[in-house]
């Protein structure tokens, strides 16, 4: 960056001895207006010296009377810029230089240092007023920002944070913007993304085929939204899909095109007053809605409000609301004049689209219009989601506005990379005692999501200059027999294998005494076993890239006869399409498994209860269930001294339920993820059957705290049906403990 030519007045002279101090400030101190803040502070205290960014800090040297330097340092710590987070200030005395002014000087690259990066910040009050004022030169300019707001992490490609290391490098400043950038009295003093309509990014509207539509892009997009169309708009961290939240037909069309049949959509409203018309908004909620992070905030709907179409968030009592966080959002919401659905710009199970070409290709068929711009997006980030619990914000999904702020882990200096699980994936990089949690990635079933994971991780490691010393990961990722995987739509997860007897199992895997007893026991689960290094009988596609193999022995006469007739191990996996429950009846199987199975081995004995296979492993000599189902359900677990009748309905993923009756806990079978209507039907069917057999009428219903889960909706319906009042809501991460 260029050295500022503006200097402060000469240092204060007086009786106090003169000193020169070096302050190295660490934390989130770049991209938050820290250097202009330091310049102004030094000017006000009439101190000489310099300030600059380094690879891992802001480096300040100040010279003047000792008492004045003390006052400067105290104010620096006590009143930093709004977006800054100071974690440490290293303070040392250095030799006097006799300078007469204070300067912002060129950034320094320091090998081995790293710098926490500021998240993107919502449009500040001053910039909002500017874009709404016809007398201002940035009137209706959708990329307006200053040192207090605007894009940060999503445009940064390298550190120290200067314009040439951001996606704004392609937009040289005009004379007017350069004058603001160089003026210490201006709020855009050294604001790296500063721009205007004469020199900055451009906005335009495109038709579904990518052709630019002539006219004012925001007005055209607003007209399309009012007409019931779906508009894809390029936001800070990627694309969003918008439609009129009061138009049931428009919302239904978006659901069908996006392949999202039931999961609630987020809604963006113009301001806090509009949010208060739709939902119950307390003081904590208002502060979050109007804060710089601007997440989707889960709020209880007002009973007297019906402005939002029922298709936006069916069967749930809460609504996810957010306020505009970019000038483009502000201008569009005001032009449309009604709430907008604002959801991730993707097909369900894929990451959000980030670039114009990518969006035009992947979102064609979903969006009718595309609101595009030419400012590059360095980091793909979806919206954060949160709710208020006991007066404090609790993140449900950590992404834009919160990432990449670190969480300090005192006393931990080892560099660690943790890669999370297969579902709702994220990662965490531990460096220098700070835990940098990555953005929400999603489920790792789709190749584009895997690419997004690699892209996000590589960018984070590059910015942090991190080279982890240890790796921690979930080792259950796999692929399997190609034709079955393709037909079953199961690209990665390992398959279970059934073998004839214990001797056959021992040829494939390491089987100890405890494992042998489980394999030959009455429950006959899928048992996770360590593969033998000298065995290669099983095709690598069954469970590649994992050291274990899920084995089970036959548990019905049919299995025994079939295995002996075939004379070799068989993949034996759930009879379903991935995400659906297993088929139970002959007609159901012939309909749902046609296209997967080439032949059907049927019988005419009815099945009253739909049960999948249990899965377990041996830990420290004892069996530990991974999935509780056939062979273990419905055996109860005694809970001494607990007589209340309770129904607990679990979370959204890997769902099951539990009925507490007479001091016994009856844990239901593995249900699965509650995204598919057939799985929801399976949940209701299994629960009703369990309650009927037990003759149970619960006195309390418990559910997950998340309002959008299907299990939460079922809990609310059951509690109302039994006149039990509100369900007891438990945060599922707390339930793990």
| Phi/psi of residue 370, nearest 5 degrees | -125, 120
pLDDT score, position 367: 98
Cβ count within 10 A of residue 599: 5
Q: Six-digit token pair at 205?
A: 């509207």
User: Average pLDDT of 24-46?
Assistant: 91
Distance separating alpha carbons of residues 514 and 569, to the nearest angstrom: 22
SS (H, E, C) 416-469: EEECCCCCCECCEEEECCEEEECCCCECCCCHHHHHHHHHHHHHHHHHHCCCCC
Is 39 exposed, middle or buried (CB count within 10 Å of its CB: 0-12, 13-18, 19+)?
buried
pLDDT score, position 639: 84
Q: Is 3.30.110.120 the CATH classification of the domain at 482-574?
A: yes
Does residue 285 contact residue 301 with C-beta atoms inside 8 Å?
Answer: no
Which residue is listed with tokens 């001294």? 641
Which residue is listed with tokens 């539990």? 658
- Judge whether residue 210 has pLDDT over 60: yes
Residue 164's DSSP bridge partners are none
Is 416 exposed, middle or buried (CB count within 10 Å of its CB: 0-12, 13-18, 19+)?
middle
* pLDDT tier at 729, thresholds 50, 70, 90: very high
Domain boundaries, the chain: 18-104, 203-373, 406-472, 482-574, 633-736
H/E stretch holding 285 reads helix 283-289
Distance separating alpha carbons of residues 247 and 254, to the nearest angstrom: 11
* pLDDT tier at 568, thresholds 50, 70, 90: confident
Distance separating alpha carbons of residues 335 and 323, to the nearest angstrom: 15
Distance separating alpha carbons of residues 582 and 572, to the nearest angstrom: 13
User: Average pLDDT of 330-335?
Assistant: 98
* pLDDT tier at 489, thresholds 50, 70, 90: low
Fold of 633-736: Nucleotidyltransferase; domain 5 (3.30.420)
pLDDT score, position 8: 42
Residue 22's DSSP bridge partners are 61, 92
Residue pLDDT, tens place only, 677-696 = 888 888 898 899 889 888 88
pLDDT score, position 118: 85
* pLDDT tier at 492, thresholds 50, 70, 90: low
DSSP category for residue 142: T
Of 26, 381, 373, residue with least CA distance to 200: 373
Distance separating alpha carbons of residues 441 and 380, to the nearest angstrom: 10
Is 506 in a helix, a strand, or coil?
Answer: helix
Distance separating alpha carbons of residues 576 and 670, to the nearest angstrom: 14
Of 318, 303, 228, residue with least CA distance to 265: 318
| CATH class in words for 406-472 | alpha beta
Contacts of residue 141, defined as CB under 8 A and 6 or more positions apart, other chains included, come to: 131, 196, 197, 200, 327
The total number of residues shown for the chain amounts to 737
User: Average pLDDT of 333-355?
Assistant: 96
Is 287 exposed, middle or buried (CB count within 10 Å of its CB: 0-12, 13-18, 19+)?
exposed
Distance separating alpha carbons of residues 669 and 659, to the nearest angstrom: 12
pLDDT score, position 480: 31
* pLDDT tier at 16, thresholds 50, 70, 90: low
User: Average pLDDT of 519-546?
Assistant: 85
DSSP category for residue 671: -
Buried b / exposed e over 605-622, threshold 16 CB at 10 Å, is eeeeebbbbbbbbbeeee
Query: Which of 62-71, 121-130, 455-464 is predicted with the least confidence, judged by mean pLDDT?
Result: 455-464
In this structure, the dihedral spanned by the alpha carbons of residues 553, 557, 560 and 566, taken in order and rounded to 10 degrees, is: -130
* pLDDT tier at 737, thresholds 50, 70, 90: low
* Maximum C-alpha span of the chain: 103
Query: Which of 34-38, 207-211, 563-567 is predicted with the least confidence, judged by mean pLDDT?
Result: 563-567
- Judge whether residue 251 has pLDDT over 90: yes
Q: How many CA atoms, within 13 angstroms, populate the side-chain half-sphere of residue 316? A: 25
User: Average pLDDT of 62-73?
Assistant: 96
Does residue 116 contact residue 34 with C-beta atoms inside 8 Å?
Answer: no
Query: Which of 463-472, 643-652, 711-720 is predicted with the least confidence, judged by mean pLDDT?
Result: 463-472
Residue pLDDT, tens place only, 142-196 = 999 999 999 999 999 988 888 999 999 999 999 999 999 998 789 998 899 999 9
User: Average pLDDT of 57-81?
Assistant: 96
Stronger pLDDT, 3 or 370, i.e. the higher one = 370
pLDDT score, position 125: 96
The whole-model pTM stands at 0.65
The CATH architecture of the domain made up of 18-104 is 2-Layer Sandwich (3.30)
Distance separating alpha carbons of residues 252 and 90, to the nearest angstrom: 57
User: Average pLDDT of 266-283?
Assistant: 98
pLDDT score, position 671: 87
Residue pLDDT, tens place only, 219-249 = 999 999 999 999 999 999 999 999 999 999 9
Stronger pLDDT, 32 or 221, i.e. the higher one = 221
Query: Which of 80-89, 211-220, 226-235 is predicted with the least confidence, judged by mean pLDDT?
Result: 80-89
Q: First-to-last CA distance in the chain? A: 50
pLDDT score, position 488: 62
Q: Six-digit token pair at 511?
A: 């089987």
pLDDT score, position 7: 45
Residue pLDDT, tens place only, 659-679 = 998 888 889 888 888 888 888
Cβ count within 10 A of residue 682: 21
Distance separating alpha carbons of residues 283 and 289, to the nearest angstrom: 10
* pLDDT tier at 13, thresholds 50, 70, 90: very low
Distance separating alpha carbons of residues 629 and 486, to the nearest angstrom: 26
DSSP 562-591: HHHHH-S-EE---SS-TTSPPP-SHHHHHH
- Judge whether residue 483 has pLDDT over 70: no
- Judge whether residue 481 has pLDDT over 50: no
Computed over every residue of the chain, the mean pLDDT equals 88
* pLDDT tier at 485, thresholds 50, 70, 90: low
pLDDT over 90 percentage in the chain: 56
- Judge whether residue 601 has pLDDT over 90: no
Distance separating alpha carbons of residues 518 and 527, to the nearest angstrom: 8
Distance separating alpha carbons of residues 412 and 428, to the nearest angstrom: 14
CATH superfamily of 203-373: DHBP synthase (3.90.870.10)
- Judge whether residue 513 has pLDDT over 50: yes
Q: Does 406-472 match 633-736 in CATH topology?
A: yes
* Cα separations in angstroms, 24 against 27, 57, 434, 466: 10, 6, 18, 21
User: Does 458 sit behind a cis peptide bond, omega within 30 degrees of 0 on the bond before it?
Assistant: no
Evaluated on CA atoms 707, 712, 713, 717, the torsion sign reads: negative
pLDDT over 70 percentage in the chain: 93
Residue 29's DSSP bridge partners are none
pLDDT score, position 472: 46
């Amino acid at each position: 960056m260029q050295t500022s030519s503006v200097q402060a007045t000469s240092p204060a002279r007086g009786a106090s001895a003169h000193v020169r101090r070096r302050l190295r400030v660490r934390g989130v101190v770049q991209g938050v207006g820290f250097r202009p803040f330091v310049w102004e502070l030094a000017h006000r205290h009439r101190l000489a010296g310099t300030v600059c960014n380094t690879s891992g800090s802001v480096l300040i040297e100040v010279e003047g009377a000792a008492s004045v330097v003390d006052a400067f340092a105290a104010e620096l710590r006590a009143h930093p810029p709004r977006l800054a987070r100071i974690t440490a200030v290293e303070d040392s005395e250095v030799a006097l230089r006799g300078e007469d002014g204070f300067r912002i000087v060129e950034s320094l690259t320091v090998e081995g240092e790293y710098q926490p990066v500021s998240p993107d910040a919502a449009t500040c009050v001053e910039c909002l007023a500017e874009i709404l004022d016809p007398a201002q030169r940035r009137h209706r300019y959708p990329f307006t920002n200053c040192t207090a707001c605007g894009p940060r992490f999503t445009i940064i490609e390298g550190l120290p944070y200067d314009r040439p290391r951001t996606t704004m490098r392609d937009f040289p400043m005009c004379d007017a913007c350069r004058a603001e950038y160089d003026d210490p009295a201006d709020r855009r003093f050294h604001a790296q993304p500063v721009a205007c309509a004469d020199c900055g990014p451009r906005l335009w509207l495109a038709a579904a085929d990518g052709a630019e539509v002539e006219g004012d892009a925001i007005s055209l997009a607003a007209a399309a939204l009012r007409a019931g169309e779906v508009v894809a708009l390029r936001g800070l961290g990627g694309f969003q899909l918008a439609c009129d939240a009061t138009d049931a037909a428009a919302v239904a069309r978006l659901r069908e095109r996006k392949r999202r049949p039931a999961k609630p959509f987020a809604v963006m409203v113009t301001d806090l007053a509009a949010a208060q018309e739709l939902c119950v908004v307390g003081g904590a909620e208002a502060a979050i809605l109007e804060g710089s992070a601007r997440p989707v905030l889960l709020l209880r709907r007002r009973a007297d409000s019906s402005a939002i179409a029922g298709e936006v968030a069916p069967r749930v009592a809460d609504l996810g609301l957010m306020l505009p966080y970019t000038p483009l959002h502000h201008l569009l919401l005001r032009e449309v004049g009604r709430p907008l659905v604002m959801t991730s710009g993707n097909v369900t199970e894929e990451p959000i689209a980030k670039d114009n070409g990518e969006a035009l290709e992947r979102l064609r068929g979903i969006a009718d219009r595309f609101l595009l711009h030419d400012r590059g997006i360095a980091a793909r980030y979806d919206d954060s989601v949160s709710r208020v619990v006991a007066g404090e914000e609790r993140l449900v999904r950590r992404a834009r506005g919160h990432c990449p702020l670190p969480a300090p882990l005192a006393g931990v200096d080892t560099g660690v990379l943790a890669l999370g699980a297969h579902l709702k994936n994220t990662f965490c990089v531990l460096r220098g005692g700070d835990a940098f949690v990555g953005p929400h990635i999603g489920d790792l079933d789709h190749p584009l999501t895997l690419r997004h994971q690699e892209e996000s991780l590589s960018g984070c490691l590059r910015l942090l200059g991190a080279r982890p010393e240890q790796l921690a990961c979930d080792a259950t990722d796999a692929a399997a027999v190609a034709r079955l995987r393709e037909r079953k739509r199961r690209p990665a997860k390992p398959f279970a294998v059934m073998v004839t007897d214990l001797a056959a199992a021992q040829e494939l895997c390491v089987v100890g005494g405890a494992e042998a007893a489980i394999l030959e026991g009455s429950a006959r689960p899928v048992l996770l076993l360590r593969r033998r290094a000298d065995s290669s009988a099983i095709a690598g596609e069954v469970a590649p890239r994992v050291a274990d193999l899920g084995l089970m022995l036959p548990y019905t006469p049919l299995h025994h006869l079939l295995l002996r007739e075939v004379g070799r191990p068989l993949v034996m996996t759930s009879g379903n399409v991935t995400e659906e429950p297993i088929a139970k009846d002959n007609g159901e199987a012939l309909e749902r498994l046609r296209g997967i199975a080439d032949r059907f081995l049927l019988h005419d004995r009815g099945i009253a209860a739909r049960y999948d296979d249990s899965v377990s492993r041996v830990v420290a000599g004892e069996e530990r269930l991974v999935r509780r189902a056939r062979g273990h359900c419905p055996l109860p677990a005694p809970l001494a001294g607990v007589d209340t009748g309770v129904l607990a309905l679990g979370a959204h993923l890997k769902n099951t339920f539990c009925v507490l009756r007479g001091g016994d806990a009856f844990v239901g079978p593995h249900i699965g993820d509650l995204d598919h209507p057939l799985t929801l039907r399976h949940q209701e069917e299994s629960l009703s059957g369990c309650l009927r057999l037990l003759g149970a009428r619960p006195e309390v219903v418990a559910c997950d705290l998340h309002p959008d889960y299907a299990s939460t909706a079922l809990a609310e319906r059951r509690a109302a049906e039994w006149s039990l009042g509100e369900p007891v809501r438990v945060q599922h991460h707390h339930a793990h403990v």
